[in-house]
């Protein structure tokens, strides 16, 4: 699964976007971003075709949900079943998105110890990369307020990530950004595969990452495992 990540700018090199955040509001980077928080999400406008960078909440609320407080808000969906599950298949076919992140975090169980060792996983060159997601709009039945949410799609881990966990986010290569965001292809299934290990790196970090309240750049500093 993917339950925590770092997002500094939300931009992807080579992909021009139109930022649509609230005018005059400064959005600080999230070094230890967690579910229920807002993040920059890149979507394709269905009419203009432009790529928009919007603030959405992590934790998907299906558009057909009647009660906002009823049921669990999914933060992940499995690539193997996203095209068939009723909660996700409509958004997967029509509302795919990209989330530009700098790294994600994962935890490895240690035999004989209760606490798990956290790790940061990123690209070797430190560049941001795109993870695949889907998004939804939910309208409050009384106030008519619109809430937009997203989740991250996961797949089997590559050889690098498999040393600590059996799942990882689906990473979309730059050459496939336009295809993933295009509404013309309802099921780009072949893109949802483990990303190659070679460009990526992994290192142990402090258990301070376990608390979302610890949200500073040093959360990613390496430690002795």
Known active-site residue 2: yes
Known active-site residue 106: yes
The catalytically annotated residue of 97, 106, 136, 159 is 106
Q: Assess contact for 125 and 159: CB atoms under 8 A.
A: no
Q: Assess contact for 149 and 72: CB atoms under 8 A.
A: no
* DSSP per position, 96-160: EEEEEESEEEEEE--TT-SSPEEEEEEETT---EEEEEEEEEEE-TTT--EEEEEEEEEEE--TT
The catalytically annotated residue of 2, 38, 136, 156 is 2
Which residues are marked as active site? Answer: 2, 106
């Amino acid at each position: 699964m993917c339950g925590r990540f770092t997002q500094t700018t939300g931009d992807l090199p080579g992909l021009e976007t139109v930022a649509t955040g609230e005018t005059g509001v400064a959005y600080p980077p999230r070094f230890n971003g967690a579910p229920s928080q807002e993040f920059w999400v890149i979507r394709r406008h269905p009419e203009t075709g432009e790529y928009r960078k919007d603030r959405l909440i992590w934790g998907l609320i299906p558009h057909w949900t009647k009660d906002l407080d009823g049921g669990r808000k999914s933060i992940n969906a499995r690539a193997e079943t996203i095209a068939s599950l009723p909660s996700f298949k409509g958004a997967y076919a029509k509302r795919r998105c990209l989330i530009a992140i700098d790294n994600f975090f994962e935890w490895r169980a240690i035999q004989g110890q209760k606490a798990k060792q956290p790790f940061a996983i990123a690209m070797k060159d430190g560049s941001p990369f795109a993870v695949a997601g889907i998004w939804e709009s939910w309208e409050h039945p009384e106030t008519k307020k619109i809430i937009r949410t997203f989740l991250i799609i996961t797949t089997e881990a590559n050889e690098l990530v498999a040393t600590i966990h059996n799942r990882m986010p689906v990473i979309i290569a730059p050459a496939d950004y336009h295809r993933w965001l295009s509404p013309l292809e309802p099921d780009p299934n072949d893109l949802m595969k483990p990303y190659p290990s070679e460009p990526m790196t992994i290192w142990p970090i402090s258990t301070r990452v376990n608390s979302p309240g610890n949200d500073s750049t040093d959360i990613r500093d390496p430690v002795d495992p």
